[in-house]
Amino acid sequence: MTSVLLCATRPMTAPTLAADLKAAGFVVLATVADCSNLVQGVVLHAPDVVVCDVSLPTSAWFQALQLVGKTVPRPLVMFTNDTDAGHIAQATECGVHVYVVNGYGANRLRPLIQLAQARFHKDLHQRQTYVELATRFEERKAVDRAKSILMKAQSLSDDDAFRALRSAAMSSNQRMGQLSQHIIQSAHFAEAVNRSGQLRMLSQRLVKLHLLQAAQVQAVHHAALLQDSVQWVDGNFALLRKNLSQPTYGDLLEQVASTWEQLKVALAQDSIEAIEQQAEALLQGAERLTTSLESSGAAAPLHVLNLAGRQRMLSQRFSKYALLALAGEGAALELAQASMRAAQREFEEVLTYLNGIPLSTPDIHGTLAAAGVAWLQMVAAAQNAQRLPFSKRRAQLEELATGSETLLGLFEQLSTHYERSMQMLLG
């Protein structure tokens, strides 16, 4: 039997309507006397149909009916004395399926309620169809976007990217739309981790370039690289602000951005002490942001990308401290040498790790091998420069500068390889 929740506010008809509903074969589960209890009554009693008997519905009634339609949809029948055409239209917008003016008629209750049920089920079917179409459309868009990512990352044709996507979906027992969303998210976080990791590297590169310029080692060339680095940082902030969720990462990003503005001031004032202080603060802030981004995505692949990105920073950090050690004495010299050793130890540990993991391709393998050679050459140049008197260091300093830039380029390539690898995109 069809169950009914009755909401009756007209004293003259309320007693008879409940009895007439029962006589017509309906089960009246409960009666509520005010629209403020309507949603609660529907949730509590879960009726098949809601019947409202209201003399003149108010805006509060329409709000209650709309809330029922959004939260616990049911066939809605309304009996009223209100003939206002605007209210009829409003009731329809709120999900009322049958709106009867001036009386209900006991003999018409069954067909009216059946009409409401028929309209309700038709509306329900239409909504489900719309949701399915919208879902398929969104999945189609996701598939197209994922194909575009694979085409760019793997240099695939449209057909090859589709086949790779379909094969991966089948092997992972996922819908193509579901896998496509995963690829989109993986690519998003991989790019964000890479860009944020570049900020770490640039914090150290800027100091290194400033020291080389001050030492008159290819001063014009390194001044140009310094300006390029400033633009690089600004570009990364613009992209990260555009692509990252402000509620999630905005506080971390803006802390780093604030430090960057202070570093730019220090660079303009040409104070090496202030530059080094703000660069270290920028490094720490970028490290926090990068770690937070890494933990939000596919942990294992993003961890590898993060490690490769840190190698860029460590290559610049080692060369920076090598230059500070050459210019320092006493406690400053000891601090610079200790920092050199720490950077060297971490770089070499990570290089060994990256050479041993299965996330590899011929391009990755070749780049790691070249990076190992360039690293040894740069360390040798730094050590040789320390042994030579000031007047004979220029060739070694130029080799140190060239080696650090070579390493930066190689690990930029390596980070791009990791960022675009299938293992990264598929998690």
pLDDT of residue 12 exceeding 60: no
With a CB cutoff of 8 Å and minimum separation 6, the contacts of 310 are 197, 200, 346, 350
Are residue 326 and residue 238 in the same domain, yes or no? Answer: yes
Q: Which of 223, 201, 200 is nearest to 210 (CA)?
A: 223
pLDDT of residue 417 exceeding 90: no
CA atoms within 13 A on the CB side of 147: 17
Are residue 111 and residue 193 in the same domain, yes or no? Answer: no
Last residue of one domain, picked from the residues 126, 155, 184: 126
In a domain, 145, yes or no: no
Are residue 205 and residue 286 in the same domain, yes or no? Answer: yes
Share of the chain above pLDDT 90, in %: 59
Neighbours of 17 (CB within 10 A): 22
With a CB cutoff of 8 Å and minimum separation 6, the contacts of 122 are none
In a domain, 386, yes or no: yes
In a domain, 138, yes or no: no
Are residue 283 and residue 345 in the same domain, yes or no? Answer: yes
Are residue 374 and residue 293 in the same domain, yes or no? Answer: yes
Are residue 267 and residue 386 in the same domain, yes or no? Answer: yes
| Mean pLDDT across 93-111 | 89
Are residue 11 and residue 75 in the same domain, yes or no? Answer: yes
Question: CA-to-CA distance for 238 and 425, rounded, in angstroms?
Answer: 24
Q: What's the structural domain count of the chain?
A: 2
In a domain, 302, yes or no: yes
In a domain, 164, yes or no: no
Are residue 115 and residue 180 in the same domain, yes or no? Answer: no
Q: What residue type is assigned to position 252 of the chain? A: L
pLDDT tens digits along 22-63: 999 999 999 998 888 899 999 999 999 999 998 888 899 999
CATH number of the domain encompassing residue 45 = 3.40.50.2300
In a domain, 165, yes or no: no
Are residue 235 and residue 366 in the same domain, yes or no? Answer: yes
Are residue 121 and residue 181 in the same domain, yes or no? Answer: no
Are residue 109 and residue 198 in the same domain, yes or no? Answer: no
pLDDT tens digits along 124-177: 899 888 888 887 888 888 888 888 888 887 788 989 888 888 888 888 888 888
- Cα 169 to Cα 97, 158, 180, 182, 185, distances in angstroms: 43, 17, 9, 11, 16
Domain assignment of residue 214, given as a range: 176-426
Last residue of one domain, picked from the residues 67, 92, 126: 126
Last residue of one domain, picked from the residues 126, 146, 167: 126
In a domain, 169, yes or no: no
Question: Residue 100: beta bridge partners?
Answer: 79
Are residue 116 and residue 212 in the same domain, yes or no? Answer: no
Q: Which of 314, 292, 300, 304 is nearest to 418 (CA)?
A: 304
The whole-model pTM stands at 0.71
pLDDT tens digits along 328-364: 788 889 999 999 999 999 999 999 999 998 877 788 8
